[in-house]
Every structure is written in structure tokens, then in C-alpha cells.
Structure 1
């Protein structure tokens, strides 16, 4: 959430000490070692090229032993991993805001906006559970966007070394997600906001069944939406809202009782199209 820190001073997040992306290995000289997690549907393949370690996640159901087809969730999880292994992920495209006037801001005007970041926490697929994205319901007492669906995050502070540090620090404050439990995959672009921020979403992997502790001042509820739904561009719809006596078009994604719309839906839709 884009709000000032509450309570104790925010911890300094050193992203060099945070779990590295799924691509990190224990490399020594020409050897690489890492064991896949027990009961995992994924394995690691290691290869060497000119003394450098290259590796990637592959989908592994041992089809030669059992007759099992990949699920939508596991396939989209694999797609997400492969996206961050690709060159495409390095060319971060601007994230379109539903408000076209914001998209027309010049580069100079964008640089004058305050920096902020949000985390897109993605749970790993395992033999028993499909992958989900963790979202929050903002407290009804907040002045800005009360009761709306949001991603954990907020305004950058001077001690934050990069956008990932901001997203991790704010997620720790808002939902009790410790930075050491997140494997950062990377940012997916930047979106200008009418409120005067430029927000960078950062994707991170987390384990299943983590216990979250919501900050009651900021977060009313925490829920998880299926990854295959969130990463389906066709699941998003165009809707209209009244904003400052004007009718404006927005994106929305419906999941059960939850209506994900506005900036959050725009960020997730961008990720769905990129992946």
C-alpha cells in the first residue's frame, strides 16, 4: 500500500542477503549443486557453457512413469519462470494505466513522480497445491482506496537500495511476509499513477502455506487468487467507474466475492500479457 510506515522504524532490506531468484545456485569453479525440493513437480537442469553455469526450471511430471497431464496452474507457473529466464523480461515495457491521461505523461514528468513498489507474491506449485497470487483487502479506515483489492507494497524510503527492497520491506510491514521467505524473480515494468507515484511491481516466489500476519491498520483481509486465472488475459473485463464526476474505463478481474480492479488489475493484466 502506498502509505507511510506505521509504528517502529522500517528495517533496512539488503537485497543482497535476500533469497536470489530461482536461477541462483551454489556454484564453485565449474560445478553446480542444488537438489530439487522433495515432492516438487519441478526439477533443475544444469548445463555449462564456457565455464558459466546456465540452468532453468522445467516441468517434470515423469510422464514416462505415470499418465498425468500438466494442470493449467502448473503450466502457467512454468511459463512465469521461463519468462524471467528470457531476454523479454529484461526489456521492461511501461504498464498502461486505465487512465489514458496518465499514460500520456512525458518521461520528465514521470521521473518527478514519487517512487513506489509492490510485491506480486506467487506461491510455488507442489504435488498437493496449485499456484496462487497473494492479494490484500485494504482497511476500510484508510483514506486512500479503502476496501479495495491491493498488492502489498508502498512508498520507497531512503534506505531502500532498489524497488525490490521497497516491495519486500512494505510486504513485511503489511502482511508479515519476511524477506527471507521470498525469492525475487524481478520487476515487470513501471506504471505512473494519478496520485503522483510511479509504481514498480516486483514478482517473488514464496512457499505454500505461509502464515501471514496482517497489519490491522492497513489490511482488512488477505486472500489468494489462482495463478491460472490471474495470468489469463481473457479473464479481464472492461468496466466503468465514476471518478471526480467523470466516467472512466477500468480493467477488472472477478474471483468469487473479490473484485480486483483499477491499478491492481492493470498490473496483473500486464503480467498476464507478458507471460
Structure 2
């Protein structure tokens, strides 16, 4: 994991697989936590509640926008992980951050890598998180687990990465962030 944090890498974007120029708008800073269990490397993910206004039912890393009380994107990722899945920040051994990812929804997301130390029993935040689950490190870290699909979005077709696993359809920004990690682990 430490090796994945070294070297130069460009930020990624939801726009990179599509022949579209991103709009010139200010981006809102956000942080997500890619937290792996120390015992078996499984990654903690959430399925967002189906009643949410933004991204209902999607698979996501715990995290969200930087609030006024947050020091930075790392603090936001840790705060949101505690709120969404009950992960005590004191249990997370922070390793560093990956290059940011620009979303079509106007966020600049900083992925924060960490290792969960000790026993962790997730508690889904009612109303925001429908399910907390884990995926194996072998799936997340293998670039061949990912492929590109298309779907209609707004007035055209949009390409995006996916990495399905069992009943979980990992796609979009979350899949792109994790694909970036997988590629860095392989190099």
C-alpha cells in the first residue's frame, strides 16, 4: 500500500472516458476513506440508502464533502466514516492520500488510504446508509476486475468503469478511484 502512494500520478475524472470537456466551475472539496482491515485486507464499502436525493442505492466509500469544521479532506473522510459506518478514527492507521478525482456532480474527491486496526463492527447510519459490507483485497487490487460499460446519461452515452462483485455493482467514481489504486499497486 505504501508503494501505491509514491510516485507522480495525475488526478482522475469522471470525464476521462468520455469525449466531453468538464465545465469550468468551482469544485467542492470532499474526502473518502478507503479503509482496509488489517487482518485480511477487506475494504469497507457502503450501499447508500435508496431514499437519498443524491446517488441513491449506489456503492460508495465512506466519505463526503468537507464541512466548515473539518481541517481538510482527510478530516472529512474520517468524520464521515465515523458517522456513516461507526468507524472510530482512532482505529485507522492513515497511510496517505491518492490523487484527487473530479466527479460529474462537481466534487474534487481526495481518496484517503487507511488500515483498520483491531476489531471493527460496522454500524450503518440510518437514513443514509442501507448496508455496510466488505470486498476482498484481491478483487479491489486487481486491475482485471475492472471493465468499462456505458449507459444513457442526460443527452448521450456515458462510459464509466465497473468492478462488480456478487450482488454489488461497484461503478462510477468509486470504481475509478479504486481502479487507480489497483493500477498503482501493480506498478
Q: Distance in 1 between matches of 2:109 and 2:20?
A: 13
Give the C-alpha shift of residue 102 in structure 1: 9.2
Distance 1:239 1:208, change over 3 A: farther
SS of 2:125's equivalent in the other structure is: coil
CA distance in 1, matches of 2:85, 2:47: 11
Say which of 63, 81, 94 aligns to 2:2: 81
Counterpart of 2:103 in structure 1 is 193
Q: TM-score, normalised by structure 1?
A: 0.63
In the alignment, which residue of structure 1 is the partner of 2:126?
A: 216
User: Which is higher, the Rg of structure 1 or of structure 2?
Assistant: 1
> Is 1:150 aligned to residue 64 of structure 2?
no
In the alignment, which residue of structure 1 is the partner of 2:170? 260
Does the 8 Å CA contact 2:65/2:76 hold for their aligned counterparts? yes
Structure 2 counterparts to residues 163-174 of structure 1, below 5 A: 163-174=73-84
Equivalent position of 1:37 in the other structure: none
2:29 counterpart (107, 110, 115): 115
Contact 2:97–2:111 at 8 Å: present in 1 too? yes
**Which range is displaced more, 258-267 or 240-249?**
240-249
Match of 1:260, SS? coil
Instruction: Classify the secondary structure of the residue corresponding to 2:163.
Output: strand
Are 2:15 and 1:93 aligned? no
Gaps of 5+ in 1: 1-79
For residue 113 of structure 2, what is the aligned residue in structure 1?
203
Q: 1:247 aligns with which of 151, 154, 157?
A: 157
| 2:142 paired residue number | 232
**Residue number in structure 1 paired with 2:90:** 180
CA contact (8 A) 1:236 1:251 kept: yes
Partner of 1:7: none
Q: Work out the CA distance in 2 between the residues paired with 1:274 and 1:252.
A: 17
Q: How high is the TM-score relative to the length of structure 2? A: 0.91
Structure 2 residues not aligned, in runs of 5+: none
How far has the Cα of 1:209 moved from its partner?
A: 4.1
Distance apart, 1:96 and its partner CA: 3.4
What is the Cα deviation at residue 164 of structure 1? 0.8
Q: Deviations over 1:52-100 (max 9, x none)?
A: xxxxxxxxxxxxxxxxxxxxxxxxxxxx13434xx41xx3421232555
- Give the CA RMSD over aligned residues: 2.0
CA offset digits 1:168-187 (Å, max 9, x no partner): 01111111111111111111
Hey, what's the Cα distance between the residues in 2 that align with 1:92 and 1:185? 17
8 Å Cα contact 1:96/1:103 also seen in 2: no
